[in-house]
Amino acid sequence: MAAESTHQHFVRGLVAVHEQLRSGAEQVRQLAAASSPHQGAQLASAVDGFTETLLDHHRSEDVFFFPAFRAAARLSRNDSEFLDLRDAEHVPIHRLAVELRDLLPQFDGRRVPTQLEHRVTANITELGELSLPHFAEEERVLTADHLATMITDRELGNVYRDMGRNWNRT
């Protein structure tokens, strides 16, 4: 069996984080709709985990991967347009994730007030409406074979190295 290429590793990671985010969004949605005495702490934990994962994922794309794809100078016009559209989609998704995260201080570990439940539900619903098609489009286009036309395996490996070295500097 051949070793996994860096392109295949990227795709596996992309799909895995998207699945984690889909699952996390659903967990937030369900907890916001529930009415249990310990809901506040569970919902706060779910919101914190979901928003951290989403913001980190988009940071990896915005700061490391997408600039490296562009710098490799192998992009077709369609690839450039694809990345520009994903960058544009990141803006409202980021805003909503930060707004959701900023609700965390209002959770006190007890029942969540109805107004806060409604804000969380509205936010996570809008995030889903923007994120789900965004994830699907990334997964449709960023296949291992297509990535190989955009960036070499070695260049992509260097992105992972640089990301590991510089994550806390960005």
Please tell me the predicted confidence (pLDDT) of residue 39.
77
Q: What is the pTM of this model?
A: 0.92
Q: How many CB atoms lie within 10 A of CB 43?
A: 26
Q: Which residues of the chain have pLDDT under 70?
A: 1, 35-38, 170
Please tell me the predicted confidence (pLDDT) of residue 147.
96
41-56 residue pLDDT tens: 889 999 999 999 999 9
The CA–CA distances, whole Å, from 14 to 31, 33, 44, 117 equal: 26, 29, 25, 30
Contact 85, 53 (CB under 8 A): no
Please tell me the predicted confidence (pLDDT) of residue 111.
72
